[in-house]
Each structure stands twice: as structure tokens, then as C-alpha cells.
Amino acid sequence: MTKPVILTGLRANNNLTIGNYFGAMLPIIDMAKKRSAEYQVNMFIPDLHSITTPVDYSALNNQILLTAKHFVAAGLPIADENIYLYRQSYIPAHSELTWILDCFTGIGEMNRMTQFKDKSGTIGADRVSVGLFNYPVLMAADMLLYGSEYVPVGDDQTQHLEITRDLGERMNNQFGEIFTIPRAVKEQHAFFGKDQGLRIMDLQDPSKKMSKSDESGKGVIFLSDTPEEAARKVMSAATDDKAYVRYDRENQPGISNLLEILALFQSRDRDEVVAEFEGQTLYGDFKAIVAEEVRRFLLDFQKKLADVDETVVIEKLEQSERDLAVTANATLLRAQQAVGLRPRN
């Protein structure tokens, strides 16, 4: 494994939306396909991160496997030997290196993590776990174990990349070259592109992003929705009283959202779709076209998902975990030797 490493995570959650599909899954798969000839692509399922907040623990193991199957159904080429697909918790070095890094991390540094503040504010003080507070250190271990140079980061993840670089450099300065340090945020954006993906908005409240955490689910199209159910959600999408199809995010956010969704499902440029439908006065007719595209997409995707060979996916996971454990354990040993937990050669 001498190629430079790209690392990205696949959230262990089976309640994925069309926003997750177009905004995260497809860009990750496209990146892996384009980069695997020159780079080692590590795609891991961060199952340890999944339990930092309360979940249905009885369902998590099935969700982890289902996550992997979703990516295969969406086109991830798992036969590519340069693409590794693995479960975080199946390589114990992730947890062990996290503890060592914890001991070189300041409370003040963790207190400055804005994502912790945002997430903990929605949970309630009595249910905020130490794991949620500490998960940026686990993220650092995820990156440092494999010498990951490139990690696609959105604006909400830049702090985590920065603390990873700080911790890696801190230990390298004190003990010698233990870790390969990920590239800086500016270099990451230059490598992957600054555009951090599209935002599909909620069908009932187009002022907010479509989210799998939406309690009602009425404005969210899940990949697990029946095609007919998804079509009904499109038909009941909030619009406006202007009775005029036009792309205007500020004044007609509902119609604008549907135009963007239609462009995605038809693999067309948004401006081309807008030019075709702008000026139509019957919202119901326009919604019916969008609803049919959504229905056909889900029929096709759900068939592909049902056809995924689970045995092949498990074999890929297990082989990747065996291969990458060698690299992870070697990095962990260097860190253990540096701090005196193992004898130095």
C-alpha cells in the first residue's frame, strides 16, 4: 500500500434520503471511480460514531450492512482492489489510538468544537455523552491510522481536520515522525473542489434542508419509501399562490426546489429544465411530472438494492478489514512505542 490515501466515511444509517443520495453518495462514488487508479481509497463505515448519540441499538448492526449495500446499489465498484470498504469498529486500532490521542488533547480544544455545541443543544444536557464530546479525537484516529492525505471536508468539518493536524503534528514534534499529516483545508478544497454538494430542500418547508431526522417525514423522500408514497409526497409539496412556474429561490422556494429535483432525476442542467417549464400555470401538472420521475427512480434503485449480493459485500468488508488492520496496527505500534506502552526497537 504505497499509494497516497484518500479517506471518506459512509454514515451507518439506513434512513437515507434522496438528498443523501445525490448530495453525498453519488459524489463519493464518482470520486472513488476517478481516483482509484492513482490513490488508495479508504471508504469506512463509522459505526463507532453512530453510538455517540442514542440510536436503536438493536437495529444498528443491520443498518451498517445496509449502508454498504446502498453504496453498492448506487454504483460503488467493490471489485476494484484500490477501493477498501470497512467497518470502523472491526479494526480495534481506531479505539486504541483514540485513547492515546485523548491524552494529548486539551479540554479547551474540545470545548471549541462547534459541532458538539450544535448537536448537544438538540439532545438535552442530561443525555449528552462523553463520546459526543470526544468524537473529533476518534475522527483524528480514523485519519492518522492510515496516513490519509486527502479527506473531503465540508465547512462543518474543517475544525475536525484542523484538530487532526494539530494532534498529529504535536505528537510528531514531541516523539518523531509517527504520523503522516493530512493536507490543510485549502489543499483539500483544491483537490476535491470547493463545492461541497447540493442541498435538496424539504418538500413541506423549502426553507430548510431535507433531513432524515425530520419527525413527520412528510417533506422528506427516503430511499426506503415506496415509489407511490414518494410520488404522493411530491404531489403534496408546498408551493405558492403565484400559479406560475419560475426559478426564484427567494420568492418561490417550493417550485424552485421541485425544478432542481427534476433536473437531478433527469440528469439535466437546471437551466435547461427551467427553460422548458417556466411559465406553466398548472402546478398540479408540473408536480405530476416530478412525481413520476421520483417514482421511476425509486423503482429502479430499490430493485438494484434487492439484487445486491450480501455475501459479496460481507466478503469485501472482511477482506478490507484484514488488509487495513496491518497498516492500522503498524501506526498504532509506533504511537504505543513513542509513549512508552511498548518497547522501542
Q: Is 209 a catalytic residue?
A: yes
Angle between helix 158-175 and helix 185-192 axes, rounded to 10 deg: 120
What are the pLDDT digits (tens) for 106-122?
Answer: 999 998 887 776 666 66
* C-alpha cell, 312: 459479496
Percentage of the chain beyond pLDDT 90 is 80
Q: Are residues 281 and 159 in the same domain?
A: no
> For residue 119, what pLDDT is reported?
64
Q: Are residues 268 and 238 in the same domain?
A: yes
Average pLDDT over residues 122-139: 82
Q: Are residues 296 and 320 in the same domain?
A: no
What are the pLDDT digits (tens) for 266-321?
Answer: 999 999 999 999 999 999 999 999 999 999 999 999 999 999 999 999 999 999 99
Is the pLDDT confidence value at 339 over 80? yes
Specify if 98 maps to a domain: yes
Q: What is the mean pLDDT of the chain?
A: 92
Average pLDDT over residues 177-199: 86
Q: Are residues 184 and 251 in the same domain?
A: no
Q: Are residues 293 and 313 in the same domain?
A: no
26, 50, 142, 251, 268 from 9: Cα distances, Å: 13, 12, 9, 36, 28
Q: Is 287 a catalytic residue?
A: no
Q: What is the DSSP string of 109-137?
A: HHHT-HHHHHHHHHH-GGG--HHHHHHHH
What are the pLDDT digits (tens) for 144-176?
Answer: 999 999 999 877 789 999 999 999 999 999 999
Is residue 194 very low, low, confident or very high in pLDDT (cuts 50, 70, 90)? low
Average pLDDT over residues 220-229: 96
Q: Is 69 a catalytic residue?
A: no
Average pLDDT over residues 198-221: 86
Is the pLDDT confidence value at 1 over 70? no
In three-state secondary structure terms, 44 is strand
Specify if 218 maps to a domain: no
CATH number, position 258: 1.10.240.10
pTM higher than the cut 0.85 = yes
> For residue 254, what pLDDT is reported?
96
Specify if 123 maps to a domain: yes
Choose the catalytic residue: 3, 33, 119, 304: 119
Strand arrangement of the beta sheet that strand 40-45 belongs to: 83-87, 40-45, 5-9, 148-150
> For residue 195, what pLDDT is reported?
58
Specify if 206 maps to a domain: no
Specify if 295 maps to a domain: yes
**45 contacts: CB under 8 Å, gap ≥ 6:** 9, 10, 11, 12, 64, 67, 68, 85, 86, 87, 88
> For residue 128, what pLDDT is reported?
80
Q: Are residues 234 and 148 in the same domain?
A: no
Specify if 83 maps to a domain: yes
Q: Are residues 115 and 256 in the same domain?
A: no
What are the pLDDT digits (tens) for 34-60?
Answer: 999 999 999 999 999 999 888 899 999
User: In the 8-state DSSP scheme, what is residue 24?
Assistant: I
Choose the catalytic residue: 212, 233, 304, 316: 212
Q: Are residues 124 and 241 in the same domain?
A: no
Is the pLDDT confidence value at 213 over 80? no
Choose the catalytic residue: 3, 209, 218, 304: 209
Q: Are residues 189 and 313 in the same domain?
A: yes
Is the pLDDT confidence value at 127 over 80? no
User: Which range is least confidently modeled, 68-82, 116-130, 175-189, 290-304?
Assistant: 116-130
> For residue 211, what pLDDT is reported?
82
Specify if 188 maps to a domain: yes
Q: Are residues 50 and 152 in the same domain?
A: yes
Domains in the chain, number? 2
What are the pLDDT digits (tens) for 14-23?
Answer: 689 999 999 8
Domain around 247: 227-305
Specify if 10 maps to a domain: yes
> For residue 10, what pLDDT is reported?
81
Q: Are residues 326 and 268 in the same domain?
A: no
At 329, the amino acid letter reads: N
CATH number, position 102: 3.40.50.620
> For residue 54, what pLDDT is reported?
84
Q: Nearest CA to 76 among 44, 38, 47?
A: 44
Q: Are residues 49 and 66 in the same domain?
A: yes
